Amino acid sequence: MEYKLITAEHYELVIEHLRGNFFADEPLNRAAGLCQRGDGNTELEYLSLATLQDQLSVMAVDGRPDSATYGQIAGVILNGILLPGDTEKALDKLQLSEDSNYKKIFELLYRHCLQSNLFAHYNVDRIFDVRILSVDSRFRGQGIAKELVRRAEHMARKCNFKLLKADATGIFSQKILFSSGFKPFSEQLYAKYTNDAGEIILPVEAPHIKLQLLTKQLNDG
Ligand code: ACO
């Protein structure tokens, strides 16, 4: 597997990879019924492209010349820079969204992040935000996600970030990030995330039971 920084020439292929995998498979996207496999999603694609432009994202590409999937993207980790005020602005903008499913997902993520107040807690003025971790279903279970997380951390260290953060929405991303030294900062059980009528807003399927906001401090040189 070859691991490369994602640059502008790859953006289209990255979006295609996400349409075929993350958009349909990620636990909250699935619970909200955001997309059918292969379909696009305007807002998630906008968010992905904005994140790519921070130039901190990495992809895994099949580098075996004899393979049927030679040259194809096997996985990506999309990382962005989070600055104070960004989540407040994103939440304001979310109110204008016409995609009610997207809104449900990002209301949860943004409000949970705001409650956590990470900038004040860690006394940092920017955070390396792991936004999307996605591996093509044909390549799962081979350690690609783990290696993408390792490369993301390397990038964060190189760029002098002091804090990494991820909204891990499922049990597997949580396991992968724990094993990379991330720690739970706060969490929300999906069964307790309900509307005024007591109905569960995002009926996330087992084995995923909670959102975890995970952090990793990089003050160890
Ligand atoms: N069942 C059981 N264990 C699993 C599974 C699974 N489906 N997926 C990963 N794991 C475990 C592995 O066994 C491994 O554990 P080990 O080190 O103890 O052996 C560990 O997790 C690492 O697995 P990888 O092989 O590195 O993970 P993979 O490359 O398969 O990618 C991922 C995992 C990214 C979660 C993939 O399944 C995927 O793309 N899912 C859909 C999108 C998604 O949910 N992304 C994460 C959302 S959170 C976020 O993006 C910040």
Using a 10 angstrom Cβ sphere, with 0-12 exposed, 13-18 middle and 19 or more buried, the burial of residue 187 is middle
Atom of ligand 1 nearest to the CA of 136: 39
Average of per-residue pLDDT across 109-125: 97
Which residues contact ligand 1 via a Cβ below 6 A?
21-22, 25-27, 75, 130, 132-135, 140-146, 166-170, 172-173, 175-176, 179
pLDDT for residue 220: 59
pLDDT digits (tens, 9 = 90+) for 160-172: 999 999 999 999 9
Atom of ligand 1 nearest to the CA of 166: 51
Phi, psi of 99 (to 5 degrees): -100, 100
pLDDT digits (tens, 9 = 90+) for 180-189: 999 999 999 9
Q: Which string of DSSP letters, residue by residue, matches 109-156?
A: HHHHHHHH-HHHHHT-S-EEEEEEEEE-GGGTTSSHHHHHHHHHHHHH
Return the half-sphere exposure (C-beta side, CA atoms, 13 A cut-off) of residue 61. Answer: 15
The C-alpha torsion from 49 through 32 and 149 to 82, rounded to 10°, is 50
CA of 139 to the centre of ligand 1 (A): 10
pLDDT digits (tens, 9 = 90+) for 68-108: 999 999 999 999 999 999 999 999 999 999 999 999 999 99
| Ligand 1: residue whose CA is nearest its atom 31 | 145
Is pTM, for the whole model, over 0.95? Answer: yes
